[in-house]
Amino acid sequence: MIIVLKPSATEEQIDHIVEKVTDLGLRTDVSKGSARTLIGVIGDEDKIRSAPLQAFPGVEKVMPILKPYKLASREMQEEPSVVDLGHGVKVGGGNLMMIAGPCAIESEERLRSIGESVKASGANVLRGGAYKPRTSPYSYQGMGEEGLKILQSVGNDLGMPTITEVMDPRQVHVVAEYADVLQIGARNMQNFNLLKEVGESKHPVLLKRGMSATVKDLLMSAEYVLAGGNKDVILCERGVCSFDKSTRNMLDLAMVPNVKETCHLPVVVDPSHATGRPELIPSMSLASVAAGADGVHIEVHDCPEEAMSDGPQALLPEQYAEVMEQMRKLAEVLGRSIPEPLVAV
């Protein structure tokens, strides 16, 4: 249920409504827009229906939410969410999140070299995996906490927020100690215990769509994080399973405007994992910007043949610079902006 307040509603009236609704054993979520304040009421449906919500002072109307993803819906918040990632970088509402870096952290020297090159091209978020979910138990699993320390050091030196994957509820506090953004990978999109744990954290969360997940599945997973009190959720399209094996996955770009129509959360696209083919990444990156994505997530490595993970799908630094320049020109035509390249780092 959503309580729509009158423009004249006072802070005292808002506090009174929140207190009374909480006393009924229900949870509230207050969203203050430019013209209206909305209060989402979450909990037992029978209690919500029996509560005299319309009678509270300052209430204009009470609206039921038909979508199962209540907090993520446009009914709850009409304006696009803007997530602050730190280091002066934001995503959503016209702010683009350009993520780049290697699939896995291999050494400080290599991450620093790649980080310097992608920042020079205009990337504003540095990625690198410290814990790697691999199909084979014999594949490289990442450097763990040592990798997190390297990521934090390089990110701080470059002035870039960092993002890395967290795979287990027991890892959340460790990853949050070093990284600015917590990534939930496709394989963990419906790991509900993990979603609850990151929902209790104060860090922004990048939630990747599962390989066989519907858009509704993705939004319901986001709802777990939002319901835990963490409003800083970013969705990521990274391709879904398909019968066609010419690409790693099938990139569902229709998902971007589809989600934005019903959900206020930022949406970014990962063409690296979606295609698995570096020659397709430039065109799919441009298509992502054209579709209205709030950012693009690209894997970059200075020597893909030596990469410990996903080398075949990584762009070289010079290729990434070219793609960024193409996206920058397209974004300008569309009235948006991508960070300018640096003359030197």
119 belongs to a structural domain: yes
- Pairing assessment for the beta strands 37-42 and 27-32 based on DSSP bridges: antiparallel
- If asked whether residues 10 and 156 sit together in one domain, one would say no
* CA 17 to mean position of chain CA atoms: 31
Structural domains of the chain, count: 2
- Please give the pLDDT value at position 142: 81
Whether 143 and 105 have beta carbons less than 8 Å apart is answered as: yes
- If asked whether residues 121 and 167 sit together in one domain, one would say yes
Task: Report CA Rg, the chain.
Answer: 21
**Residue 242's CATH number:** 3.20.20.70
User: What does the alpha-carbon distance between residue 210 and residue 190 come to, in Å, rounded to a whole number?
Assistant: 8
341 belongs to a structural domain: no
- If asked whether residues 230 and 290 sit together in one domain, one would say yes
- Please give the pLDDT value at position 35: 76
31 belongs to a structural domain: yes
251 belongs to a structural domain: yes
Q: Exposure pattern of 178-212 as b/e (b: 16+ CB <10 Å)? A: bbbbbbbbbebbbbeebbebbbebebbbbbbbbbe
- If asked whether residues 201 and 316 sit together in one domain, one would say yes
Structural domain for 301, as ranges: 83-333
- If asked whether residues 263 and 142 sit together in one domain, one would say yes
Phi, psi of 85 (to 5 degrees): -95, -5
- Please give the pLDDT value at position 224: 96
- If asked whether residues 230 and 296 sit together in one domain, one would say yes
Per-residue pLDDT of the chain (345 residues; tens, 9 = 90+): 889 999 989 999 999 999 988 988 888 888 887 778 989 888 777 777 777 888 899 999 988 777 889 899 998 898 999 999 999 999 999 899 999 999 999 999 999 999 999 999 999 999 999 987 767 776 777 889 999 999 999 999 999 999 999 999 999 999 999 999 999 999 999 999 999 999 999 899 999 999 999 999 999 999 999 999 999 999 999 999 999 999 999 999 999 999 999 999 999 999 999 999 999 999 999 999 999 999 999 999 999 999 888 889 999 999 999 999 999 999 999 988 888 877 544
Contacts of 58 (CB under 8 A, 6+ apart): 5, 6, 8, 9, 10, 13, 14, 16, 17
Burial of 149 (0-12, 13-18, 19+ CB in 10 A): middle
186 belongs to a structural domain: yes
- If asked whether residues 56 and 153 sit together in one domain, one would say no
**Residue 15's CATH number:** 3.30.70.1140
User: What does the alpha-carbon distance between residue 197 and residue 229 come to, in Å, rounded to a whole number?
Assistant: 10
- If asked whether residues 89 and 53 sit together in one domain, one would say no
- Please give the pLDDT value at position 345: 40
29 belongs to a structural domain: yes
Angle at which helix 255-262 crosses helix 215-227, to 10 degrees, equals 50
- If asked whether residues 7 and 92 sit together in one domain, one would say no
Quote the pTM value: 0.84
Whether 273 and 238 have beta carbons less than 8 Å apart is answered as: yes
- For residue 237, give the nearest of 182, 198, 292 by alpha carbon: 292
153 belongs to a structural domain: yes
Whether 4 and 43 have beta carbons less than 8 Å apart is answered as: no
- Please give the pLDDT value at position 344: 44
- If asked whether residues 22 and 161 sit together in one domain, one would say no
- If asked whether residues 42 and 92 sit together in one domain, one would say no
Angle at 69 between CA 179 and CA 95, to 5 degrees: 45
- If asked whether residues 160 and 55 sit together in one domain, one would say no
- Pairing assessment for the beta strands 59-63 and 162-165 based on DSSP bridges: unpaired
- Please give the pLDDT value at position 239: 97
- Please give the pLDDT value at position 138: 66
- For residue 289, give the nearest of 327, 326, 262, 323 by alpha carbon: 327
75 belongs to a structural domain: no
